[in-house]
């Protein structure tokens, strides 16, 4: 089973339907996309045997779609890398993957070629060498085992060196089916707007939307520009998108500022980091009931739990603060340090098993053995499940603050501080302390209006959480350090605090 079949089936059924758009301009119909991906598969097969790794280093672009399906059709393994990485970091991934070839965008290719040296070959997307690949005769891989890797998903590396999660054709198929079952129905002629990186969550959503005959819309900017995104969601029919929570917030701010309300916005699927309840409520007020949440990680792509659109319509705060319930095809549990299942409401590590869970880390048996135990993926996320199966994430185990022997989950304190209308963003971390081991420190980015005072924030905390959880120190900062996927780098904040270094 090869996920190329998802495209082949749709192209047979809807050949004239628009498949890929650059902004509002049609780039490829389904029959054209199918033909180009088949030709690329033939060209790649003529050069390399099945199972070779092929890197894609590019901003979001219309070619991304034909590249992924061409690589899969050839029986090769796609290695999409985050385009915001430094060329040296990309080169490390190319080397770690043992890639035979790199497809790079014209903007990224020169630095990447310099970082790589002589090998492997870099083919510039859109160049003559690139175009020549599409003259080949189609030759798909004769058979692909469901266990064959299809995508090496390099983790975002907030906890150290990035590792390549091996996602097989079966994993991708399981993620695709679970998306359609749990998150949103997609119809032919709907649109999937790729504003988040296609090397990550947005790229994974190419599969369910292609399988249903939807348009792939790549913003002309190649990324996320809130005003452009809002305009596209009025120009294309039935728009859906995957956005990180920080993008949802930027979109909401832009919609409020400009007064723009997209007329064709069907669904926003958010995940990849915590969505705070206050922000979710504000966004629901602006955009209406279009939101669904997913919780997943590269090792179980986009698929551990989800919170559906209808569940967002309930006023139940505990439900809104949760990441929802186990996905179709997944078993999800919370375990203690010895791997024993915990009772409802007890906090422990979240584990998941099912067809969506990765085969292991590429060339890294030790990391694989730590992450995959007895068939379960140990996610490194701490959480608790209620009796109905709603999972609430606390924090990654390493972000937990232990002060005077008591556990403090930063997220809980962050949720409270965000209730102040003058708080735009906040991040709570542990600060080393001789007496207590750690104390709570809060980094606060003030909103343009009503900047909060320490006293006001302190009072908010006293009203809602135990006194020992209150921040002992507040730092008002211009911005929070984030990685290229928009995740706050708590480690960096902790390091700066420990070193007594000032923040911007």
In the complex, what is the shortest distance from the CB of residue 23 to ligand AMP, in angstroms, rounded to a whole number?
27
**What residues from 372 to 391 belong to the interface with ligand AMP (CB under 6 A)?**
379, 381
In the complex, what is the shortest distance from the CB of residue 405 to ligand AMP, in angstroms, rounded to a whole number?
25
In the complex, what is the shortest distance from the CB of residue 454 to ligand AMP, in angstroms, rounded to a whole number?
28
DSSP state of 182: I
Nearest to ligand AMP of 60, 162 (CB atom):
162
155: contact with ligand AMP by CB under 6 A: yes
- Count of residues binding ligand AMP (CB under 6 A)? 16
Nearest to ligand AMP of 144, 162 (CB atom):
162
Nearest to ligand AMP of 393, 441 (CB atom):
393
Strand runs labelled E in 189-323: 191-193, 215-218, 239-243, 265-271, 291-297, 300-307
491: contact with ligand AMP by CB under 6 A: no
Among 126, 188, 273, 437, which residue sits at the site for ligand AMP (rule: CB under 6 A)? 273
**H helix runs in 179-244, sequence order:** 201-204, 206-211, 226-235
**What residues from 284 to 303 belong to the interface with ligand AMP (CB under 6 A)?**
293, 295-298
DSSP state of 137: P
Q: At what angle do helices 277-287 and 245-258 cross, to 10 degrees?
A: 40
**H helix runs in 321-464, sequence order:** 365-371, 410-417, 454-464
Residue 17: helix, strand or coil by DSSP? coil
**Burial level of 254, CB count in 10 A (0-12/13-18/19+)?**
middle
In the complex, what is the shortest distance from the CB of residue 275 to ligand AMP, in angstroms, rounded to a whole number?
6
Nearest to ligand AMP of 191, 202 (CB atom):
202
Nearest to ligand AMP of 21, 83 (CB atom):
83
In the complex, what is the shortest distance from the CB of residue 327 to ligand AMP, in angstroms, rounded to a whole number?
12
CA 352/CA 305 separation, integer angstroms: 9
Interacting stretch for ligand AMP, rule CB under 6 A, among 85-93, 126-134, 269-277, 328-336? 269-277
CA 135/CA 138 separation, integer angstroms: 9
Nearest to ligand AMP of 100, 323 (CB atom):
323
Nearest to ligand AMP of 75, 301 (CB atom):
301
272: contact with ligand AMP by CB under 6 A: yes
Among 149, 197, 262, 271, which residue sits at the site for ligand AMP (rule: CB under 6 A)? 271
In the complex, what is the shortest distance from the CB of residue 379 to ligand AMP, in angstroms, rounded to a whole number?
5
Strand partners, 396: 381
In 3D space, the residue among 64, 71, 107 whose CA is nearest the CA of residue 87 turns out to be 107
Nearest to ligand AMP of 20, 323 (CB atom):
323
Interacting stretch for ligand AMP, rule CB under 6 A, among 187-195, 215-223, 267-275, 434-442? 267-275
Query: In degrees rounded to 5, what are phi and psi of residue 232?
Result: -60, -35
Among 75, 120, 222, 274, which residue sits at the site for ligand AMP (rule: CB under 6 A)? 274
DSSP output for 427-480: EEEEEEETTTEEEEEEEEEEPSSSPPPHHHHHHHHHHHS-GGGS-SEEEE-S--
Output the CA angle 484-284-60, nearest 5 degrees.
30
CA distance to 42, 44, 482, per residue, from 124 (Å): 18, 15, 29
In the complex, what is the shortest distance from the CB of residue 188 to ligand AMP, in angstroms, rounded to a whole number?
29
Query: In degrees rounded to 5, what are phi and psi of residue 252?
Result: -60, -45
Nearest to ligand AMP of 272, 360 (CB atom):
272
393: contact with ligand AMP by CB under 6 A: yes
> Which positions touch ligand AMP (CB under 6 A)?
155-156, 271-274, 293, 295-298, 323, 379, 381, 393, 396
């Amino acid at each position: 089973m090869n996920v190329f079949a998802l495209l082949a089936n749709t192209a047979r059924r809807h050949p004239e339907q628009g498949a890929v758009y650059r902004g509002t301009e049609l780039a490829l119909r389904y029959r054209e996309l199918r033909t180009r991906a088949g030709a690329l598969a033939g060209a790649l097969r003529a050069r390399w045997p099945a199972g070779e790794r092929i890197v894609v280093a590019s901003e979001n672009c219309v070619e991304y779609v034909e590249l992924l399906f061409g690589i899969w059709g050839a029986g090769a393994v796609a290695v999409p890398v985050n385009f915001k990485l430094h060329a040296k970091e990309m080169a490390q991934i190319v080397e770690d993957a043992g890639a035979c070839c790199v497809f790079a965008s014209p903007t990224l290719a020169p630095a990447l070629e310099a970082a790589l040296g002589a090998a492997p070959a870099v083919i510039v997307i859109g160049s003559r060498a690139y175009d020549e690949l599409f003259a080949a005769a189609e030759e798909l891989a004769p058979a692909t085992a469901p266990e064959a890797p299809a995508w090496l998903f390099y983790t975002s590396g907030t906890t150290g060196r990035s590792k390549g999660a091996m996602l097989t054709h079966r994993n991708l198929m399981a993620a695709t089916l679970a998306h359609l079952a749990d998150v949103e129905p997609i119809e032919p002629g709907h649109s999937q707007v790729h504003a988040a990186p296609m090397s990550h969550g947005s790229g994974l959503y190419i599969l369910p939307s292609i399988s249903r005959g939807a348009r792939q819309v790549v913003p002309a900017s190649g990324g996320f520009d809130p005003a452009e995104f809002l305009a596209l969601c009025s120009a294309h029919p039935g728009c859906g998108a995957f956005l990180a929570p920080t993008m949802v917030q930027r979109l909401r701010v832009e919609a409020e500022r400009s007064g723009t309300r997209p007329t064709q916005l069907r669904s926003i699927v958010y995940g990849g980091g915590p969505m705070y309840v206050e922000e979710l409520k504000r966004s629901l007020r602006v955009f209406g009931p279009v939101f669904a949440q997913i919780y997943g990680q590269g090792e179980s792509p986009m698929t551990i739990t989800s919170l559906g659109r209808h569940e967002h319509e309930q006023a139940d705060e505990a439900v809104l603060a949760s990441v929802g319930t186990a996905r179709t095809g997944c078993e999800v549990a919370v375990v203690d340090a010895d791997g024993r299942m915990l009772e409802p409401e007890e906090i422990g590590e979240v584990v998941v098993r099912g067809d969506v869970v990765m085969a292991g880390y590429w060339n890294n048996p030790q990391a694989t053995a730590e992450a995959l135990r007895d068939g379960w993926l140990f996610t490194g996320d701490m959480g608790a499940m209620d009796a109905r199966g709603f999972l609430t994430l606390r924090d990654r185990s390493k972000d937990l603050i232990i002060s005077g022997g008591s556990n403090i989950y930063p997220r809980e304190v962050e949720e409270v501080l965000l209730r102040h209308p003058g708080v735009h963003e906040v991040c709570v971390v542990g600060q080393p302390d001789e007496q207590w081991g750690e104390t709570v420190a809060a980094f606060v980015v003030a909103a343009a209006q009503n900047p909060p005072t320490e006293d006001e924030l302190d009072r908010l905390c006293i009203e809602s959480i135990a006194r020992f959880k209150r921040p002992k120190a507040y730092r008002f900062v211009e911005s929070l350090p984030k990685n290229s996927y928009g995740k706050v780098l708590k480690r960096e904040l902790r390091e700066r605090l420990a070193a007594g270094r000032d923040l911007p």
